[in-house]
Amino acid sequence: MRKRILVTGGAGFVGSHLVDALLRAGHSVRVFDNLSPQVHPHGLPSYLATDIEFIQGDMRDLDAVRRSLENIDVIFHKAAAVGVGQSMYEISHYMSANTQGTANLLQAMLDSRRDFEKLVVASSMSIYGEGKYRCAEHGDIAPEPRPIDQLRKKEWEALCPVCNAKLAPIPTDESKRLQCTSIYALSKKDQEEMCLLYGRTYGAPVVALRYFNIYGTRQALSNPYTGVAAIFASRLLNHRSPMIFEDGEQQRDFVSVHDIVQANLLAMDREEANGLAINIGSGAPISISQVADILGAALGLHVEPEITGKYRAGDIRHCFADIGLAQKVLGYRPKHRFADGIGELVAWLRNQSATDKVSDATQQLTAYGLTA
């Protein structure tokens, strides 16, 4: 059945790919986006589908949000200020854009007195803080964030709080205790919890998707706070070394934007997902150094990464997804391994230019004492 769908942040990386898929499925789509200059320095992006209704507006403008909801059946809430490092010194901006922006959406939904068919909100793996680990002697453990004193000694691995042994990372499932280590993470936790609370209180069908590290075409290459694959690509396209913090052996879960879109479409239609927060990743860990190497090789650029041996406030050591719940309640099956899915990204990158702002961003972090 044709639905009238609102995608907040629909001009962005994930949002625009979702818009394309919704249009292919025959739905009517309205995009609400503030076209932030940091993400969209040239205004409305050329990749955005033309057969949509576009409203330029900010989530912090309650009246504009109310107008965006008129005659809508389903809401995909993707609008957010993104970036762990930047959030640590632009605290007010991140909390107002993400937390207050989501509060405005929920207020507008409530005030409309309408029964929306579904709200799907973009959450983030960042809300876990450290992932799950296993101690050979003491079993599964969710450790506290690594102490600053330990990081200053360049001792990167998480340690067992009982015996002080190095912990082995294991897949992180949704039961893991949430330990936000950045303002960005805290704001995403707010978004998730407010939406799920709204759903429980008012009997509204709400699903939160906890995205892991997304890669793909249309990431903002000149935004130094976007995803790490895009940040590395920006450096490589300018024949500069990808800058890697710590020792590069930290593990993450890189998931294709196409698999993210798959999960969103499934969440819209599956009633079994209502009221749940669900991991969306590839289920396969990969080190940050491997990401840089694979991307450089695919681009045909032999530029050695710069292993800084420094740490950043808010960074965690290892976190990769247990996707069992997504498989069970959504029928989600990731279709793109990183080594294979990188081909599409590289083909797109060859026709892109990028202004490398990573050094400027790092200087900002240093000025605030957020890296050492």
pLDDT in tens, 88-139: 999 999 999 999 999 999 999 999 999 999 999 999 999 999 999 999 999 9
Task: Residue 76: name the closest of 146, 17, 151, 135 by CA.
Answer: 17
pLDDT higher than 90, residue 179: yes
> Is CATH 1.10.1740.10 correct for 4-367?
no
Angle among Cα 20, 22, 28 to the nearest 5 degrees reads: 110
Say whether 218 sits in a helix, a strand or coil. Answer: coil
* d(C-alpha 80, C-alpha 227), whole Å: 14
pLDDT higher than 80, residue 147: yes
| Per-residue model confidence (pLDDT) at position 238 | 82
* d(C-alpha 212, C-alpha 207), whole Å: 16
| Per-residue model confidence (pLDDT) at position 226 | 67
Task: Residue 8: name the closest of 82, 76, 95, 109 by CA.
Answer: 76
Domain ranges in the chain? 4-367
> Is residue 335 left, alpha or beta, with left meaning phi > 0 and alpha meaning psi from -120 to 50?
alpha
* d(C-alpha 63, C-alpha 76), whole Å: 19
* d(C-alpha 140, C-alpha 117), whole Å: 39
| Per-residue model confidence (pLDDT) at position 354 | 63
Integer angstrom CA distances of residue 173 from 120, 210, 215, 281, 331: 19, 11, 21, 11, 17
Q: Which two tokens stand for residue 168?
A: 């082995």
Q: The whole model's pTM is what?
A: 0.95
Q: Which residue has the higher pLDDT, 342 or 68?
A: 68
* d(C-alpha 161, C-alpha 147), whole Å: 12
